[in-house]
Amino acid sequence: MNGANSATSAGAADVRSPLPRPLDGVRVIEHAQNGAAPFAGRILSDLGADVIKVEPPGGDRARRQGVAAPAFSGLFQHANAGKRSISIDCDTAGGRTVMAALLERADCVLLDETSAVLAVDELIGRVPGRAVVVTITPFGLDCRQPRPATGARALFHAGGEGFLTPNGAPLTTPPVAPSANVAWLDAGVAGAFAAMLVLFRRGHGDEGEFEAPYFFDLAMRDVQLSLSRQDICTFANEGHLEDRSTKHSASLGPRLRCRDGDATIHLAERHWSGWCTLMDRDDLVADPRFVTHEARMANLDAVVTELERWTMPRTRAEVQGLGQPRGLPVVAILTPSEVLADDQLAYRGFFRSPVGSGGPLLTAALPFVRQDGQRWHPSNLAPPVGQHTGEVLAELGQHLAGITPATTAGVVGSGL
Amino acid sequence: MSHRGLLKGVRVVDFSWLMAGPSGTLLLALAGADVIRIESTRSPDNYRKSFSKDGNPDCSPLFATVNMAKRSVLIDLKHPAGLSVAEGLVEKADLVVENFTPGTLDKLGLGYTRISERNPRIVMVSASAAGQSGPKSHFAGYAPHFASLAGLAFLTGHPDGPPTRFSRSLDARVGTYIALAALAGLLSVRQTGQGMYLDVSDQEVVASLIGDVLADAAATGREFVRNGNVEDGRAGAGCYPCKGMDQWIAIEQDNATEWQALCRAIGRPDLLADPSLASQEGRWAHRQQIEAAIGEWSRRLEKPDAVRLLQEAGVKATVVASGFDLFTDDDLHARGMWQPIEHKALGKMWVVDSPVTRSPRNGGGEGVAPAPLLGEHTDEVLREVLSLSEEKIKALRVEGALR
């Protein structure tokens, strides 16, 4: 496989890929906030779609989330890079006219729970039959709970993974969710997949079957449940309730403390003699506590103690650098700033500073590379609220014949 | 057409195993693709072996919950005649998926360069711990390892506890991106007439899913740490214990209205009247007092009652759901997320449907076909896809190519 990838190294000047992108020519209208449906839009944008993000005059709530908000929001940047933003107030007649005109030209519509303002049933009638409509809401459109928690962490807990996390911990400590918005972004990936299913089918010789738009009612909790399906199903099928005290496989992922942080390993049967040699501890081979794989797993704490005798005076990089060439799977547990500096991600051009960032702003690409070493990146930073309002209205042209300049002034947010 | 038929006519030759690859082809199968798993008795999927009842490869509930609606064909890829059968299938396929250690399929003669010569329109998706290229491409690794390389292990856990060991759910996340990459490839073929190879990195998948934190870290230079369920500056939000062993709820609360509602719900007007707790900053400074008050209240209640009382008072709350809670959730059954199936070896069992192409609410759609027995469809697929005669199939079996 062609591995070299110098053309896309991190920080390289960003030029829209000259190669065709699979969704070139696809028009997406997104009326959504936070991290779920917008991340679906972001993925479609990376793949070539023209994604128009419709924001209320105050902008997506994600703009105000995170440690550096409102000056900068990592969530907003990550979920909205490459899009165009139009700001309209859908509570006004003029705003609804603009929205209807946008929907009439859409190939794909992304909505979430904030789209209630659209009176969806009425406006969805404007969406052409060829299009796909994806709603992504926390518990689905038919949720009967009066006020469910909808943050990414709560959804991680609602969908079953929180109960299992952190794996190996005593049950007296509370479950935890990642310090990140994983559950929202998970739903975004699933939403992009849903949209692409229809965009694929549409060009598959089945045009006639698309008299009405395809409609997906995705729930973020369903997505979480599906990701933990194997652990969740053990109760349904075997009567055994997995919890976070269960260690799925003791050999997989014990933590080793090192001089400058933590590393983790996989200690399959075949690895033990390699560790003993690496540590120059042949005495351990004959130690009855470690003589078989079963014995080592039964005495895992003692195994870790012996390994840490060797790892604790060494850095993670040393441990990884000595272990990996000997076929011992050991990796450093990286902090976010170390991930940003990781040589592997840099080699593969995973992060990129888009045009106009002019600083340490960056976006992560889709997590795959093509055979030519190239990958699909967003071409621009996430837009300021309403940056493209004028441009998009101009494109709509005759569709907006009913909107006079006077009414437009009343309905359009910043950016004109 | 139902959602289940969207990928009808798409044939997938699936060399993947364990969890990540099969999770991806599961999404494709549940959207109607014909997913043909290439398996071998010489080296069966460890999910068939290690998690089965009595060592019977057909009796693994774990395998059965991630391989529904696929077909299984036995081929010995190290046997020359077996290899040509596999090549024949790839020639008739739209998509190949694999998640071996980088280089494995190349060594077998089934790498992208080779197969694209025979089928220029083929899309191939590989997934590996750190990708096929780069200084760490040789790293072997499972979920705990690529979670570590991407920052998620470090970011998850209690502040005074170790980083978190992630497992199968991360493989499933890789699977979703494999399915997405496959569609990107299939759409590209439509556009250009040329096949495509897509190299999915598990490390990048996880980094993509915490890309918001990574962007904040890059912009601010700040080092992010794991902090349990606490979001900086917000007191009175997180996980709280309820009555019974290991019963918990999650609460969100981040403005004055919700704070008032919370105090009402837990019967603590005194907290509401306390001027030192009037502001968000004040509440953050006294968060231990607030956490204790919520915990004292929640411990006396059953989990669903606590959530109901909080929600009715205007507080955003949710149960921390266990496998029991999710299986007994009427709404998830009504949404069709739980599907009963009849597995040929395991009998009646329940599986979780695709969150994307699940049956419409309250049934009426197509159900889910069970996971295949090992090699269940060998003859059927060889007849149907390669038009091989019974005699030819028999001969291949005798020479050991189909095992």
3-state secondary structure chain A: CCCCCHHHCCCCCCCCCCCCCCCCCCEEEEECCCCCHHHHHHHHHHCCCEEEEEECCCCCHHHHCCCCCCCCCHHHHHHHCCCEEEEECCCCHHHHHHHHHHHHCCCEEEEEHHHHHHCHHHHHCCCCCCCEEEEEECCCCCCCCCCECCCHHHHHHHCCCHHHCCCCCCCCCCCCCCCCCHHHHHHHHHHHHHHHHHHHHHCCCCHHHCCCCEEEEEEHHHHHHHHCHHHHHHHHHHCCCCCCCCCCCCCEEEEEEECCEEEEEECCHHHHHHHHHHCCCCHHHHCHHHCCHHHHHHCHHHHHHHHHHHHCCCCHHHHHHHHHHHCCCEEECCCHHHHHCCHHHHHCCCEECCECCCCCCCEECCCEEECCCCCCCCCECCCCCCCCHHHHHHHHHHHHCCCCHHHHHHHECCCC
A201 vs B246: CB contact, 8 Å cut-off? no
pLDDT at A122 over 70: yes
Q: Which of B128, B115, B272 is nearest to B203 (CA)?
A: B128
Kindly provide the ipTM of the predicted complex, given to two decimals: 0.98
Could you give the 3-state DSSP secondary structure of residue B314? coil
Q: What percent of chain B has pLDDT over 90?
A: 91
CA-nearest residue of chain A to B67?
A: A230
Instruction: Name B73's Cβ contacts closer than 8 Å, sequence gap at least 6.
Output: B36, B37, B38, B39, B89, B375, B377, B378, B381, B382
Quick one: pLDDT at residue A101? 92
B181 vs A368: CB contact, 8 Å cut-off? yes
Average pLDDT score over residue span A309-334: 96
Closest partner residue to A252 (CB to CB) among B144, B207, B225 is: B144
Quick one: pLDDT at residue A253? 86
User: With contacts defined as CB-CB under 8 Å, which chain A residues touch B143?
Assistant: 252-253
Quick one: pLDDT at residue A1? 34
Closest partner residue to A364 (CB to CB) among B9, B166, B211 is: B211
Quick one: pLDDT at residue B267? 96
Q: Looking at this protein, which amino acid is placed at residue B151?
A: G
User: With contacts defined as CB-CB under 8 Å, which chain B residues touch A363?
Assistant: 211, 215
Residue B255 DSSP code: S
User: With contacts defined as CB-CB under 8 Å, which chain A residues touch B113?
Assistant: 1
Q: Which residue has the tokens 């999910």?
A: B47
User: With contacts defined as CB-CB under 8 Å, which chain B residues touch A234?
Assistant: 61, 323
Quick one: pLDDT at residue A125? 83
User: With contacts defined as CB-CB under 8 Å, which chain A residues touch B310?
Assistant: 147
pLDDT tens figures, A152-169: 999 999 999 999 999 888
Distance from CA of B230 to the nearest CA of A (A): 8
Length of chain B: 403
Distance from CA of A360 to the nearest CA of B (A): 5
User: With contacts defined as CB-CB under 8 Å, which chain B residues touch A241?
Assistant: 322-324
User: What's the gap between Cα B313 and its chain centre?
Assistant: 35
User: What's the gap between Cα B225 and its chain centre?
Assistant: 25
User: With contacts defined as CB-CB under 8 Å, which chain B residues touch A222?
Assistant: 332, 335, 337, 355, 358
Quick one: pLDDT at residue A413? 45
Quick one: pLDDT at residue B95? 98
**Cα B229 to Cα B358: distance, rounded to the nearest angstrom:** 31
Quick one: pLDDT at residue B233? 83
Residue B144 DSSP code: H
HSE-up (13 A, CA, CB side) for residue B58: 12
| The pair of three-digit structure tokens given for residue B389, joined into one six-digit string | 């005669």
Quick one: pLDDT at residue A205? 52
Whether the CB of B213 is below 8 Å from some CB of chain A: the reply is yes
How many contacts, defined by CB atoms under 8 Å, are there between A and B?
A: 499
Inter-CA distances, A146 with A151, B185, B307, B310, B311, Å: 15, 42, 10, 10, 6
**Cα B11 to Cα B33: distance, rounded to the nearest angstrom:** 6
pLDDT at A212 over 90: no
**Cα A6 to Cα B225: distance, rounded to the nearest angstrom:** 32
A226 vs B337: CB contact, 8 Å cut-off? yes
Instruction: Name B305's Cβ contacts closer than 8 Å, sequence gap at least 6.
Output: none
Q: Contact, A88 vs A96, CB < 8 A?
A: no
| The pair of three-digit structure tokens given for residue B180, joined into one six-digit string | 């997405």
Closest partner residue to B355 (CB to CB) among A144, A166, A226 is: A226
Instruction: Name A345's Cβ contacts closer than 8 Å, sequence gap at least 6.
Output: A10, A339, A351, B203, B204, B207
Quick one: pLDDT at residue A10? 36
Could you give the 3-state DSSP secondary structure of residue B126? strand
**Cα B226 to Cα B163: distance, rounded to the nearest angstrom:** 8
Distance from CA of B232 to the nearest CA of A (A): 8
Average pLDDT score over residue span B59-81: 97
Strands A132-137 and A108-112: parallel
**Candidates A241, A344, A351, A352, partner chain B, best to mutate (most B CBs within 10 A):** A344
**Cα A70 to Cα A57: distance, rounded to the nearest angstrom:** 15
Quick one: pLDDT at residue A5? 34
**Residues forming a β-bridge with A332:** A263
Average pLDDT score over residue span B82-104: 97
**Cα A82 to Cα B338: distance, rounded to the nearest angstrom:** 37
pLDDT band at A397 (very low <50, low <70, confident <90, very high): confident
CA-nearest residue of chain A to B208?
A: A364
Average pLDDT score over residue span B133-159: 94
Q: Rounded mean pLDDT of chain B? A: 95
DSSP calls for B356-401: TTPPPTTS-S---PPPPPTTTTHHHHHHHHH---HHHHHHHHHTT-
User: With contacts defined as CB-CB under 8 Å, which chain B residues touch A271?
Assistant: none
Quick one: pLDDT at residue A11? 36
pLDDT tens figures, A184-201: 999 999 999 999 999 999
Could you give the 3-state DSSP secondary structure of residue B196? strand
Strands A50-55 and A84-87: parallel
Quick one: pLDDT at residue A352? 86
**Cα B357 to Cα B270: distance, rounded to the nearest angstrom:** 50
pLDDT tens figures, B340-373: 999 999 999 999 999 999 976 655 667 899 999 9
Quick one: pLDDT at residue A249? 74
Of the candidate ranges A36-40, A270-274, A411-415, B266-270, the one whose mean pLDDT is the lowest = A411-415
The verdict on whether omega for the bond into residue A22 sits within 30 degrees of 0, i.e. cis, is no
pLDDT tens figures, B380-403: 999 999 999 999 999 999 999 999
| The pair of three-digit structure tokens given for residue A59, joined into one six-digit string | 């902008």
Distance from CA of B183 to the nearest CA of A (A): 7
**Cα B198 to Cα B97: distance, rounded to the nearest angstrom:** 10
CA-nearest residue of chain A to B195?
A: A371
**Cα B90 to Cα B385: distance, rounded to the nearest angstrom:** 10
Interface of B with A in 296-325 (CB under 8 A): 310-312, 314-324
Rg of chain A, C-alpha, whole Å: 25
Average pLDDT score over residue span A354-377: 82
pLDDT tens figures, B162-183: 999 998 999 999 999 999 999 9
Instruction: Name B117's Cβ contacts closer than 8 Å, sequence gap at least 6.
Output: none
Whether the CB of B160 is below 8 Å from some CB of chain A: the reply is no
**Candidates A161, A207, A224, A230, partner chain B, best to mutate (most B CBs within 10 A):** A230
Task: Choose the most confident range, by mean pLDDT, from A15-29, A207-221, B318-332.
Answer: B318-332
Instruction: Name A132's Cβ contacts closer than 8 Å, sequence gap at least 6.
Output: A107, A108, A109, A194, A195, A197, A198, A199, A213, A214, A215, A216
Q: Contact, A219 vs A255, CB < 8 A?
A: no
Distance from CA of A82 to the nearest CA of B (A): 15
Residue B222 DSSP code: P
**Cα B265 to Cα B282: distance, rounded to the nearest angstrom:** 20
Length of chain A: 416
Cα end-to-end span (Å), chain A: 49
Quick one: pLDDT at residue B52? 80
Quick one: pLDDT at residue B337? 95
pLDDT at B201 over 80: yes
Q: Contact, A78 vs B211, CB < 8 A?
A: yes
CA-nearest residue of chain A to B152?
A: A178
pLDDT tens figures, B150-164: 999 999 999 999 999
A236 vs B214: CB contact, 8 Å cut-off? no
Q: Which of B78, B75, B145, B132 is nearest to B100 (CA)?
A: B132
B335 vs A219: CB contact, 8 Å cut-off? yes
**Cα A140 to Cα A225: distance, rounded to the nearest angstrom:** 13
Segment holding B318, helix H or strand E: strand B316-319
**Candidates B356, B357, B368, partner chain A, best to mutate (most A CBs within 10 A):** B356
Distance from CA of B40 to the nearest CA of A (A): 22
User: With contacts defined as CB-CB under 8 Å, which chain A residues touch B123?
Assistant: none
Quick one: pLDDT at residue B8? 95
Strands B95-98 and A132-137: unpaired
pLDDT band at A377 (very low <50, low <70, confident <90, very high): confident
B326 vs A160: CB contact, 8 Å cut-off? yes
Average pLDDT score over residue span A253-275: 95
Closest partner residue to B318 (CB to CB) among A149, A171, A203 is: A149
pLDDT tens figures, A53-67: 999 989 999 999 988
B149 vs A339: CB contact, 8 Å cut-off? yes
B316 vs A186: CB contact, 8 Å cut-off? no
User: With contacts defined as CB-CB under 8 Å, which chain B residues touch A209?
Assistant: 1
Of the candidate ranges A201-210, A229-238, B231-240, the one whose mean pLDDT is the lowest = A201-210
User: What's the gap between Cα B252 and its chain centre?
Assistant: 26
B172 vs A226: CB contact, 8 Å cut-off? yes
- Is the Cα dihedral B329, B333, B335, B339 positive or negative? positive
pLDDT at A404 over 70: no
Instruction: Name A95's Cβ contacts closer than 8 Å, sequence gap at least 6.
Output: A88, A89, A411, A412
Average pLDDT score over residue span A28-41: 97
The phi-psi region of residue B131 (left if phi > 0; otherwise alpha if psi is between -120 and 50; otherwise beta) is left
Quick one: pLDDT at residue A6? 34
Angle at alpha carbon of residue B268, lines to B267 and B269, rounded to 5°: 110
pLDDT band at A7 (very low <50, low <70, confident <90, very high): very low
B222 vs A67: CB contact, 8 Å cut-off? yes
Quick one: pLDDT at residue A202? 84
Distance from CA of A412 to the nearest CA of B (A): 29
| Class of residue A331 by CB neighbours under 10 A (exposed 0-12, middle 13-18, buried 19+) | buried
Cβ neighbours of B236 (radius 10 Å): 24
A148 vs B197: CB contact, 8 Å cut-off? no
pLDDT at A415 over 50: no
User: With contacts defined as CB-CB under 8 Å, which chain A residues touch B185?
Assistant: 22
Q: Rounded mean pLDDT of chain A? A: 87
pLDDT at B137 over 90: yes
Q: Which of B353, B336, B357, B182 is nearest to A214 (CA)?
A: B357
**Candidates B106, B166, B213, B368, partner chain A, best to mutate (most A CBs within 10 A):** B213
H helix and E strand count, chain B: 20, 11
